[in-house]
Amino acid sequence: MTAVAEQVESASMRAEGFIGRIPVRNLWQLMLYASDLFRTRGIGKIGLEDSPDDLPDLVAEILAHSVEVRQRRRLSLGYRSRDAVINRVRGRIDVLTTERHQLMDRGLVACRFDELTIDTPRNRFVRAALESISRIVQRKDVAHRCRALAGGMKAMGVSGDAPTRAQMSTDRFGRNDADDRFMVAAAKLAFDLVLPTEASGANVLSLPDREATWVRRLFERAVGGFYEAVLSPQGWRVLCGRTMGWQVEQKTAGIDKILPSMRTDVVLDHPSTGQRIVIDTKFTSIVTSGWYREETLRSGYVYQIYAYLRSQVGCGDALADHASGLLLHPAIGQMVDETVVVQGHRIRFATVDLASSPSNIRSQLLRLCERAPAGLS
């Protein structure tokens, strides 16, 4: 179990609105940053940090509006496979079933065919999202609007069997599905906002491995999503999940099977200023106990960020030759921001306090993109 999770487990059991010691509304903020919705149609420009408790209401309104737009133009249809006994041939004949039940004697035939329907996984997912988020919004008119739209979809023939996230991950959007893409992004965020609210109850929850893994992945996606939405208009190029290659000069036949690849969480490039920041997010305490001192940085993480930076030097990329590194950890009531320059590379070790106010979380993330921290030229 991670150190952050251990800190969380020692929290009081009387607080409300927390997952561990992280306020639920701060998790909502991270979910917004991690969502596709934040990256589209200017939603990242809305000052949500000033009123994070209104986020479910805002997402519910966005979802309701996108559904209304789709209903005016008619919800997207899709094909589903059906097996049916009918009085005419449609699609492919199921010969075995037809012969076994002697259907031809009664003027019937068993067929397998594709049927155009409004009851698609995409529409079922959106209907379920409307019903779910209507339970947590504060404004009664918004809750009623969501429930009415869900009821309207039911009347159109959209069933209540919502697909899983795994099933939705296989959903593919075509060139004419731009409005559907936006609607589904809002539905996904609506589901995300509901989960911690329903889980939190009236107590502070501990973070066992399952929850710790979930928040760790959320933190990584949130950092990438935030920088992509906020820094891209300022000339930054944001790359998430970038794979780096080793500068291999010679190798044996089997090394490719066992040599690990290097995958960064986030890379920020600003070509006009020649800046590159390689960010690696971690969900552990930034320091640990050492052999000869009370606290020390985790050596494995230091070696990792050093390898990310030095392995790319001299490969013809000017930004890589002078890139900076950032090891970014979440924290609970703790702030660390220290920097060292090693062989021309500035390496920064910093935390983001997830127990602070939402506006402060945003400010902390933005401050980490400054060209030189205080105390360094």
More confident residue, 305 or 5: 305
Q: Could you tell me the pLDDT band of residue 19, with boundaries at 50, 70 and 90?
A: low
CA 163 → CA 49, 212, 374, distances in Å? 32, 25, 50
Q: What's residue 50's pLDDT?
A: 55
Q: What's residue 312's pLDDT?
A: 95
Distance between CA atoms of 17 and 197, rounded to whole angstroms? 7
Half-sphere exposure of 326 (CA within 13 A, CB side): 28
End-to-end CA distance of the chain: 39
Q: What's residue 200's pLDDT?
A: 46
- Is 37's pLDDT higher than 50? yes
Q: CB-based burial of residue 145 (10 Å sphere; 0-12 exposed, 13-18 middle, 19+ buried)?
A: buried
Both structure tokens of 184: 């589904």
Which CATH number describes the domain made up of 209-248+260-367?
Answer: 3.40.1350
Distance between CA atoms of 304 and 56, rounded to whole angstroms? 38
- Is 72's pLDDT higher than 80? yes
Percent of the chain with pLDDT over 70: 84
Give the residue range(s) of CATH 3.40.1350 domains in the chain: 209-248+260-367
Q: What's residue 204's pLDDT?
A: 35
To which H or E segment does residue 32 belong?
A: helix 24-34
- Is 16's pLDDT higher than 50? no
Q: What's residue 272's pLDDT?
A: 93
Q: Could you tell me the pLDDT band of residue 210, with boundaries at 50, 70 and 90?
A: low
Residue pLDDT, tens place only, 280-313: 999 888 888 777 777 899 999 999 999 999 999 9
Residue pLDDT, tens place only, 228-280: 888 988 899 999 998 999 999 999 999 999 999 899 999 999 999 999 999 99
Distance between CA atoms of 126 and 67, rounded to whole angstroms? 8
More confident residue, 170 or 52: 170
Mean pLDDT of 344-348: 95
Distance between CA atoms of 259 and 374, rounded to whole angstroms? 38
More confident residue, 24 or 350: 350
Q: What's residue 130's pLDDT?
A: 96
Q: What's residue 284's pLDDT?
A: 83
- Is 137's pLDDT higher than 80? yes
Residue pLDDT, tens place only, 166-194: 788 778 887 777 678 888 888 988 888 88
Contact 319, 276 (CB under 8 A): yes
Mean pLDDT over each residue of the chain, to the nearest integer? 83
pTM, whole model, 2 decimals? 0.72
Q: What's residue 57's pLDDT?
A: 86
Q: What's residue 168's pLDDT?
A: 83
Q: What's residue 150's pLDDT?
A: 96
Nearest to 119 by CA among 71, 78, 150, 175: 78
Q: What's residue 229's pLDDT?
A: 83
